[in-house]
Amino acid sequence: MQLDTAEQALAYLAQFDPETNYTVWPFEMGWVCQPILTPEQHEAGMGLGLANLVIDSQTGIVTVQSSLAPQTIAADYTQAKRTGRPTGNQIYPHQWNITIRRVREDPETIVYQMTAVSLKDPPEPTQEHPLTINKSTFLIDPADSLSRVAMSYAEWMRRQNSGIWPEEATTRR
């Protein structure tokens, strides 16, 4: 993994988020990356609490970090990595391919069959189980992290499709 320049870091970010422009700051362990907001996004207050990303230049792992100043994030990440406890949630490279297929639906709930296939090396066991979503509260059963990702994606697709829940959908985490 070669991420020695700002151009290389920006090209790497574009692999998984081509629609967003970033400002990047180098630090000892990699790059702190902050989305560049449009004037409309600024006016809407979207800059408040805006998360940053860190690209680890050794591993290529991209994690979501807090909205603290880039220098603070860099110092915290460096310290955490030195102690063997890197911070943030990994968003790239993707670790799971998650597919849902609708099994049944009634006015209160929708049930999907969820299959999560590991993209890790070595891979983790495939997870397969029913996923029940309460359509008004968005509570789910089971409530594991991969099921939450599947529910969030299904609900996002519903909003994009005039309130109709997807028959089938696939996302990555």
pLDDT at 24: 98
Residues 125 and 62 in one domain: no
Sign (positive/negative) of CA torsion 95, 147, 51, 82?
A: negative
Residues 84 and 101 in one domain: no
Block mean pLDDT (10 aa), the chain, length 173: 91 94 96 94 87 94 95 96 89 95 98 97 95 97 95 95 96 91
Domain boundaries, position 44 = 6-92
Domain count, the chain: 2
Residues 102 and 80 in one domain: no
pTM (two decimals)? 0.76
Query: Helices H, strands E: what count in the chain?
Result: 4, 10
Helices (H), the chain: 6-16, 39-43, 70-82, 145-160
Q: What are phi and psi of 146, to 5 degrees?
A: -70, -35
